[in-house]
Amino acid sequence: MTPPRRTRRRPQPLVPEPAPRPPQPAQPTAADGRRPRPNPERLYSVAGSDGARAELDLVTLIVARTAPPVSATPEQSAVLRLCRAPLSVAELSAYLGLPFSTMTVLLTELITDELVHARAPIVRQAVPDRSLLEAVMHGLQRL
Amino acid sequence: MVSVQKPPGRRERPYARVLLPPAIVMAAAAGAAVALVPPPARFAVGVCGALAVLMVLGTAGEAARRGRRLREAQAEHARHVAQLEQRIAAHNELMARFATEVLPNGFYRLRRGAVLRNVVRDVFDADPYLRSLPDGYRELIRMALRGADQEISMRDATERSFVSVARRVQAIVHQQAEELREMEEDHGRNPEVFDDLLRIDHGTSLIGRLADTISVLGGGRPGRQWPQPVSLYSVLRGAMSRILEYRRINLASIVNINIKGTSVEPVIHAAAELLDNATRYSPPTTKVHVTAVEVQSGIVIEIEDCGVSLSEESRARIERMIEDAKNGEDAHNLGENPRLGLAVVGRLCKRFDMEVSLRSSAYGGVRAILVVPRVMTTTEPGVGAVQAHGIGAAAAQIPTADAVEGPKRPAKKRRPTSPKIPAGISLEDDVPEVTEWTAGGLPQRRSRVKTSLTQRYAEQAAIERAEREGRPTIWSQREPEPEPEPEIDPERKKLMERPPGLWMEDFWNGLRQGMPPDTPTHELTDFTLHPTKYLHLLNDSADYAEGATAGAAEADDEGDLK
């Protein structure tokens, strides 16, 4: 009566591990990171399953605008505490242990409530510098 | 009751006293007649009078005897009636005793799991009065108990089978939930898949709650055990996630306390049933407010909805239902009443010493109050409290070998009025990295090597200066050195002066015709005679390639300029 079990997909290391790490008896389940500590709350109760999602990237920086209000959920207040300095969505997702999609719903609620700012990451070469343009110009002229 | 007993002295009245008065009256009458009649008739009258006296005596004696017998028979009858009435009374009493004492006692023992034989011995044979009764009574009791025993064992078997099925469903749901959680983490980057997974997850949780309900109604445990304490907030969220309309639940001001691992599931299930009732019996647009405060006896969880208020009558009915459920006597209700929730809550409260009550809410709806006893709470650190208390604490609790440490930032005194780029971030990163230039002078991008902006400005200035001074720069078009005119073979010159394309035709002609050894010289093409002269035609392309690679190498060299 045991249903088929799913083997979890995980990224395969390119290089095989040279030596297996000695087992750590002190941390039976939580240490290897595979099994999260059992928690009765499901992800959809943390952030709605069909919540709207803003255009957030993994590297979008989140900055808190206010201190956590009283009515904030634990996740929201954690985000607001962590984001006193800009933090990327990926980092928040890792610290809170929530998947990216849940994080975006959570952050979208916060953005809608005007509790945080989302700032596009500083993209390299978004604004090309002058020397590059000049170089291109020279090169084109000499063709 | 007709027991009018005549005094026994009257019955014992001697015959003499009964017979004497008529005999005396008769004898007096006979004597008077003898005295009054003339002497010759006296004898005859005397004889007749004596006879009459005798006859009266006889008749009276007989009458008296019969009367006595009649009285005796009447007394006997009355005694008999009294005895029968006594027996009837005793019988009634016995029946009442059976109904109020013997059978309930036996049923109770049977329900507690006693064996039928022992039950009959304990409730019937142990009593000397009952033992003295005819065998029929014992058989009657035994049969009644046996019927009940069969029903009880059949019900037990049914319940056990239900519970075992529910157990399996619970196990599957639990595993499913774990795997769904893994999948949610695996597909966290893909919102469409993620939302679908959440929907499946929700459905699975609903199935799990139904399985828990069956299990509890069948006398089992309400689901899995949690190994560690869980914070009350997470417990209530767990309850929230098991109902259909979890979005309407508003958790406000939940006391920060942890629930023992063994008690987590009962609280979750009871709260989930109450939340389900609250969302089900209130308008679908309203919120259900949940608060939890700590009191002396434990925790009070209040669930308030904005539905229809509860009249006193219906409140009494519901409380009776819960009371019945606590006593396990609601089996007859379960079939026709779809409100399994309250029955489940009642049973859970009975088993885990929780209390539930319903009041009218200030919002106009119902306020359900669940009191969780203090023994269920704990001060040990729990799961889920992590997020309520701060991330740093969690990171300290589970250090792993390769754990990434959280940010250790000093608390800021004030938040910036407008978030600016922090001073620590270097602007050099923004400089496009142009480190190489192609032969044509176009920039070529390399990812690894960085050239700082100032350096490149310096380079640019140097190039411009060089251009002004007329020195060659990387931009200046290299004038190709005039190559020395190679000495051209006259044959080749002639060939080169020929219209283009003709040599090819000759070439092919020569090849096509074949070359017999005795062919006269004038018939052979020039190529056939001096094939080596034409090698330069082949080498031209090679030269070109060589030039290209040389150019590339040049570009590389220039690119190494720092």
Q: Which of B371, B389, B407 is the last residue of a domain?
A: B389
Contact (Cβ atoms closer than 8 angstroms) between residue B205 and residue B241: yes
Evaluate whether residue B259 is within a structural domain. Answer: yes
Q: Are residue B460 and residue B531 in the same domain, yes or no?
A: no
Chain A contact present for B512, CB below 8 A:
no
What pLDDT is attached to residue B79?
Answer: 96
Determine the residue of chain B that is closest to A46 in CA distance.
B237
Q: Which of B439, B469, B499 is the last residue of a domain?
A: B469
Q: In terms of pLDDT, which residue wins out, B383 or B323?
A: B323
Q: Please report, rounded to a whole number, the percentage of residues in chain B having pLDDT higher than 70.
A: 68
Contact (Cβ atoms closer than 8 angstroms) between residue B125 and residue B131: yes
Q: Are residue B340 and residue B440 in the same domain, yes or no?
A: no
pLDDT tens digits for range A14-71: 555 555 554 444 433 333 444 456 778 888 888 765 667 778 888 888 889 888 888 7
Q: Name B174's Cβ contacts closer than 8 Å, sequence gap at least 6.
A: B208, B223, B224
User: Which residue, B297, B301, B298, is CA-closest to B288?
Assistant: B301
What pLDDT is attached to residue B559?
Answer: 42
Among A88-102, B376-390, B540-554, the minimum mean pLDDT is found in: B540-554
Evaluate whether residue A84 is within a structural domain. Answer: yes
Evaluate whether residue A24 is within a structural domain. Answer: no
User: Which residue, B252, B183, B275, B234, is CA-closest to A45?
Assistant: B234
Q: Which of B355, B389, B423 is the last residue of a domain?
A: B389
Report the C-alpha gap between B273 and B368 in whole angstroms: 11
Among B198-202, B461-465, B470-474, B496-500, the minimum mean pLDDT is found in: B496-500
| Residue B562 reports pLDDT greater than 50 | no
- Residues of A within 8 A of B404 (CB-CB) are 94
- Residues B123-148 have a mean pLDDT of 86
Q: How many domains does chain B have?
A: 4
What pLDDT is attached to residue B553?
Answer: 42
pLDDT tens digits for range B408-440: 655 544 444 444 444 554 444 444 555 566 777
Q: Which residues pair with B355 in a beta bridge?
A: B371
pLDDT tens digits for range B487-504: 666 666 666 666 656 666
Evaluate whether residue A26 is within a structural domain. Answer: no
Evaluate whether residue A136 is within a structural domain. Answer: no
User: Which residue, A11, A101, A35, is CA-closest to B196?
Assistant: A101
Evaluate whether residue B51 is within a structural domain. Answer: yes
Question: In sequence order, which ranges of A59-99 are alpha helices (DSSP H)?
Answer: 74-82, 89-96
| Residue B18 reports pLDDT greater than 80 | no
- Residues B14-39 have a mean pLDDT of 83
CA distance B247 to chain A (A): 7
pLDDT tens digits for range B221-235: 777 788 888 888 889
What pLDDT is attached to residue B529?
Answer: 64
| Residue B465 reports pLDDT greater than 80 | yes
CA distance A141 to chain B (A): 9
| Residue B463 reports pLDDT greater than 50 | yes
Instruction: Tell if the CB–CB gap between A42 and B431 is shorter than 8 Å.
Output: no
Q: In terms of pLDDT, which residue wins out, B15 or B543?
A: B15
Q: Are residue B502 and residue B456 in the same domain, yes or no?
A: no
Instruction: Tell if the CB–CB gap between A124 and B429 is shorter than 8 Å.
Output: yes
pLDDT tens digits for range A119-138: 876 666 566 778 888 889 99
Q: Is B380 left (phi over 0), alpha (psi -120 to 50) or beta?
A: beta
Which CATH number fits the domain that encloses residue A64?
1.10.10
Q: Are residue B27 and residue B123 in the same domain, yes or no?
A: yes
As a residue count, chain A comes to 143
Evaluate whether residue B238 is within a structural domain. Answer: yes
Determine the residue of chain A that is closest to B418 in CA distance.
A65
Instruction: Tell if the CB–CB gap between B409 and A38 is shorter than 8 Å.
Output: no
- For residue B398, name the pLDDT band (cuts at 50, 70, 90): very low
Q: Are residue B102 and residue B235 in the same domain, yes or no?
A: no
Question: In sequence order, which ranges of B328-390 are alpha helices (DSSP H)?
Answer: 331-336, 340-352, 385-389
What pLDDT is attached to residue B220?
Answer: 78
Q: Are residue B343 and residue B246 in the same domain, yes or no?
A: yes
Evaluate whether residue B494 is within a structural domain. Answer: yes
Contact (Cβ atoms closer than 8 angstroms) between residue A47 and residue B184: no
Q: Name A100's Cβ contacts closer than 8 Å, sequence gap at least 6.
A: A58, A89, A90, A93, B188, B189
- Residues B199-213 have a mean pLDDT of 90
Evaluate whether residue B218 is within a structural domain. Answer: no
- Residues B20-44 have a mean pLDDT of 85
What pLDDT is attached to residue B40?
Answer: 85
Q: Which domain holds residue B453?
A: 431-469
Q: Which long-range contacts (CB under 8 A, 24 or more apart) does B350-353 make?
A: B350/B325, B350/B326, B351/B266, B352/B263, B352/B266, B352/B376
User: What tokens were used for A89?
Assistant: 């969505």
Q: In terms of pLDDT, which residue wins out, B101 or B18?
A: B101
Evaluate whether residue B220 is within a structural domain. Answer: no
Q: Are residue B254 and residue B374 in the same domain, yes or no?
A: yes
Report the C-alpha gap between B481 and B500 in whole angstroms: 27
Torsion of CA B241, B358, B225, B398, to 10 degrees: 60
- Residues B284-310 have a mean pLDDT of 88
pLDDT tens digits for range B210-267: 899 888 888 877 777 888 888 888 899 999 999 988 888 888 888 888 888 888 899 9
Q: Are residue B265 and residue B379 in the same domain, yes or no?
A: yes
Contact (Cβ atoms closer than 8 angstroms) between residue B305 and residue B233: no
Query: How many helices and strands, by DSSP H and E, does chain B display?
Result: 20, 10
What pLDDT is attached to residue B447?
Answer: 53
Q: Which domain holds residue A51?
A: 46-123
Instruction: Tell if the CB–CB gap between A31 and B401 is shorter than 8 Å.
Output: yes
Of the residues B172, B176, B186, B194, the best mutation for testing chain A's interface (the one with the most A CB atoms within 10 Å of its CB) is: B194
User: Which residue, A41, A68, A49, A123, is CA-closest to B233?
Assistant: A41
Evaluate whether residue B209 is within a structural domain. Answer: no
| Residue B206 reports pLDDT greater than 50 | yes
CA-based R_g, chain A, Å: 22
What pLDDT is attached to residue B520?
Answer: 58
Question: In sequence order, which ranges of B98-134 are alpha helices (DSSP H)?
Answer: 103-111, 116-120, 128-132
Evaluate whether residue A107 is within a structural domain. Answer: yes
What pLDDT is attached to residue B291?
Answer: 92
| Residue B1 reports pLDDT greater than 60 | no
Evaluate whether residue A16 is within a structural domain. Answer: no
Q: Are residue B273 and residue B347 in the same domain, yes or no?
A: yes
CA atoms within 13 A on the CB side of B39: 0
What pLDDT is attached to residue B554?
Answer: 43
- Residues B534-544 have a mean pLDDT of 56
Measured in whole angstroms, how far is the alpha carbon of residue B128 from the centre of its chain?
A: 53
Q: How many domains does chain A have?
A: 1
| Residue B66 reports pLDDT greater than 50 | yes
What pLDDT is attached to residue B453?
Answer: 75
Q: Please, what is the average pLDDT of chain B?
A: 76
| Residue B71 reports pLDDT greater than 90 | yes
Q: Name B449's Cβ contacts closer than 8 Å, sequence gap at least 6.
A: B433, B435
Run of H or E residues at A51:
none
What pLDDT is attached to residue B275?
Answer: 92
Q: Is A97 left (phi over 0), alpha (psi -120 to 50) or beta?
A: left
Q: Is B144 left (phi over 0), alpha (psi -120 to 50) or beta?
A: alpha
Evaluate whether residue B181 is within a structural domain. Answer: no
Of the residues B387, B460, B479, the best mutation for testing chain A's interface (the one with the most A CB atoms within 10 Å of its CB) is: B387
Contact (Cβ atoms closer than 8 angstroms) between residue B345 and residue B325: yes
pLDDT tens digits for range A79-101: 888 888 888 888 888 888 888 88
If you average pLDDT over each of B76-85, B168-177, B540-549, which comes out highest?
B76-85
User: What tokens were used for A79?
Assistant: 């985000």
Say which of B183, B191, B383 has its CB closest to residue A39: B383
CA distance B221 to chain A (A): 17
Report the C-alpha gap between B11 and B457 in whole angstroms: 155
Q: How many CB pairs under 8 A join A and B?
A: 185
Instruction: Tell if the CB–CB gap between B238 and A122 is shorter than 8 Å.
Output: no
Q: Name B199's Cβ contacts closer than 8 Å, sequence gap at least 6.
A: A44, A49
Provide the ipTM.
0.71
Evaluate whether residue A93 is within a structural domain. Answer: yes
Q: Are residue B257 and residue B376 in the same domain, yes or no?
A: yes
What pLDDT is attached to residue B130?
Answer: 83
Which CATH number fits the domain that encloses residue B272?
3.30.565.10
Q: Are residue B455 and residue B529 in the same domain, yes or no?
A: no
If you average pLDDT over each of A103-112, B357-366, B499-508, which comes out highest?
A103-112
Evaluate whether residue A39 is within a structural domain. Answer: no
What pLDDT is attached to residue B427?
Answer: 47
User: What tokens were used for B488?
Assistant: 């051209």
